[in-house]
Structure 1
């Protein structure tokens, strides 16, 4: 069981380290404040746990088997990514007009619920997260273990592990806040993160 758990945590590390829309959103919101970043992490990991539970009950198999269901989720996920990206780009453009080249600008605080909701929505709108949970978790269940409770427990461990992993991102952004809060630097970061989110959304919409 210990060797299985260690292998599972190693796989979780590789999954979390792979760049994706959740990572971009967590870093973007961490620029506002550590609270905003951490609540985004909690929302994202709630989505991870939900998909793990859904996979445990076998419901994600329906998504994998139905091209129509997958396509609907894919388009919804693409729209969510593009909307988040456009909002970020628009905020950077508006800030340029309002703040000029002012230094030391502080981002307006988002409510904890808004940050949590953004992380949760982005994860739940990603069909790849659902398919990955279905294909990943069953392989980790130890032989002879009851599958349903084991998969739910693994989903919880996965979510808690990623809270700690992405918490390091939030902490790191917070440590560099004095530099990252400069108006010019922040605009560039928002332009990059917004462009990445739009590109990821377009890629998700166009893929077969």
Structure 2
């Protein structure tokens, strides 16, 4: 029981710390409303489930041991974050041109749930730090005698569920004030800040040494 409580406490602290998942959820909620935010959270949670399964069957250990593959995943994930951040910055700096070119009226949702889901999934799978995190965190909370595969997978599922609940809460809150935030300067400023955060997170991911 103590191991479970310790795992839940550490997981809650990690999940509550703002990072790429939080920034992605906020961005996509602003662009796609509550449905966009929840879809993004679903994609992120699915990505974490995939990482958890990969950790349980040993694939993550192989990924971490293979430096070329690890670096390739890292750079691909970093490039994707920077790309989405640049898109958000473009929208903030030139909203009229971007929306007019897409045939979207001011304040209308510009991101479908399917695209939001895909962005959340790709963003999480493109972050090899999740692999390192799962490989280093989950085994610490597996009691001696438990089956490694099922124990690791169970804790990975719990972590993904906690992440989903936390990000959905973010999406609901942002969506409640979304109509106001999408108006005029307020929406442009927040979208620009979110874009800058995504770019910064992408550059930091690319520069980090494991």
**TM-score computed with the length of structure 2 as normaliser:** 0.90
The equivalent residue for 1:72 is 72
Deviation per CA, 1:133-160: give whole Å up to 9, x if none. 1111111112211110111111111111
The equivalent residue for 2:168 is 167
Superposed CA RMSD? 1.8
**TM-score computed with the length of structure 1 as normaliser:** 0.91
Deviation per CA, 1:145-200: give whole Å up to 9, x if none. 11101111111111111111111111111222242122211111111111111111
Shift of 1:105: 4.1
Tell me whether 171-180 or 133-142 shows the greater mean CA deviation.
171-180
Q: Which ranges in structure 1 are unaligned for 5 or more consecutive residues?
A: none
Q: Secondary structure at the match of 2:7?
A: helix
Shift of 1:22: 1.1
Aligned equivalents of 1:207 and 1:7: distance in 2?
Answer: 28
Shift of 1:96: 4.5
Q: Secondary structure at the match of 1:108?
A: coil
> Conserved in 2, the CA contact under 8 Å of 1:58 and 1:134?
no
Aligned equivalents of 2:124 and 2:97: distance in 1?
Answer: 32
Aligned equivalents of 2:154 and 2:208: distance in 1?
Answer: 33
The equivalent residue for 2:23 is 24
